[in-house]
Amino acid sequence: MIDIKDIAGLSKPLTRLIEVISQGVGAVSASYLTKKNAEAKAHEIRVISDALKDVAEQHHLPVVYRDGAIELWQKPEDKTLSLEPASHEDKAALRLDYQERKRQNNIENISSIAAIELAEEHEVSDVKPDEDWVSRFFNFAQDVSSEQMQDLWGRILAGEIKKPGTYSLRTLEFIRNITKSDASRLEHLGKLATQFGGTTFVAMHDKNWMKQNREIYPGHHFEIGEIGAMYPTDLNLRVFRDEETQEEVFTSGALMLLVKRGDVKREINLPMWKFTAVGRELIELIPNANDEGYLESLGRFFLERKAVATLAKIIERLPGGQIRYESIREISSHPSPEATSDA
């Protein structure tokens, strides 16, 4: 174990991570802090798990004799099997011990993932995560066992340390109740998340194109809407709603679509699937696909309505919402090879 007074050599973000873990669970293990140790531990667990699975399948284990004096247990601390007599009191104690050790293992894995996320950071906000948020986070995270969901929780912890207030208590409650398949579907859509002003959405300007080229179907919208990360109905984004507006900007990851009015005479309605507030928080955890083909397809939607569209790369986001960018190409009515390639 290590104390706060012993961590002067660590970066500020990792120091803050240790403070948060100590606040949440009362103790910090040095193995939380290095990628090498985290990866080694994960590899060790996978190897042991595979071996235990083979033993269990070969010998039909573990076996519990509820009316007898002997039980077969898998010890959580070293993943070995033991055959020993146990009283009812011992059985209850073993179950409780197993559960608590499993929870500790979950917390260590999630904290290691957060440490990896913070390893390249050098600064951290002077504001610390809210105490209630920290308490709720670890209360939920201790029961997260799947690697995919642990990765998600680890990135949430790192994100909250970088910028306290990024993830609401409502979002923690939401994440607590979603399944791995829910998370996979959300990730599939989240890679194409697009921003226009304060709205985050997936453009559904051409459902056939989205189906054929990005394997996005109406069922995805229904499923994500059902769990509360998207509004459940198709909506329209009003573009060029102000007659004086001469250009509109759409961003998606490190890319930008600049749409100039050209010969547009009236407001354009862009069909979209809009993310809810919880959905917006969650897609911050999902790496954007930086999908040129998707944005080029969206650009052609505006070309068909007499606008002019240019695909660009974002160089820097400036205070006040301004963006420095570098043009990639002006979009034509004929798709480039990238426009239909896999994202």
Looking at the predicted structure, is the pLDDT value of residue 66 above 60?
A: no
Looking at the predicted structure, is the pLDDT value of residue 55 above 90?
A: no
Looking at the predicted structure, is the pLDDT value of residue 136 above 50?
A: yes
Looking at the predicted structure, is the pLDDT value of residue 72 above 80?
A: no
Note whether residue 227 is domain-resident: yes
Looking at the predicted structure, is the pLDDT value of residue 172 above 60?
A: yes
Looking at the predicted structure, is the pLDDT value of residue 118 above 70?
A: yes
Note whether residue 65 is domain-resident: no
Looking at the predicted structure, is the pLDDT value of residue 342 above 80?
A: no
- Domain-ending residue, one of 157, 177, 197: 177
27 shares a domain with 41: yes
Which of the two residues, 200 and 84, has the higher pLDDT score?
200
Note whether residue 139 is domain-resident: yes
Contact call for residues 194 and 251 (beta carbons, < 8 A): yes
Note whether residue 333 is domain-resident: yes
- Domain-ending residue, one of 142, 177, 212: 177
Q: What's the rounded mean pLDDT across residues 247-263?
A: 97
Beta bridge partners of 250: 257
Looking at the predicted structure, is the pLDDT value of residue 9 above 90?
A: no
Looking at the predicted structure, is the pLDDT value of residue 4 above 60?
A: no
Looking at the predicted structure, is the pLDDT value of residue 205 above 70?
A: yes
Cis peptide bond prior to 62, omega within 30° of 0 = yes
Strand pairing category for 323-330 and 247-252: unpaired
Q: At 54, is the pLDDT very low, low, confident or very high (cuts 50, 70, 90)? A: low
Percent of the chain, pLDDT > 70?
Answer: 76
Domain that holds residue 281: 182-340
Q: What's the rounded mean pLDDT across residues 234-255?
A: 96
Q: At 81, is the pLDDT very low, low, confident or very high (cuts 50, 70, 90)? A: very low
CA distance linking residue 244 with residue 264, whole number of Å: 11
- Helix 147-162 vs helix 169-177: angle between axes, to the nearest 10 degrees? 170
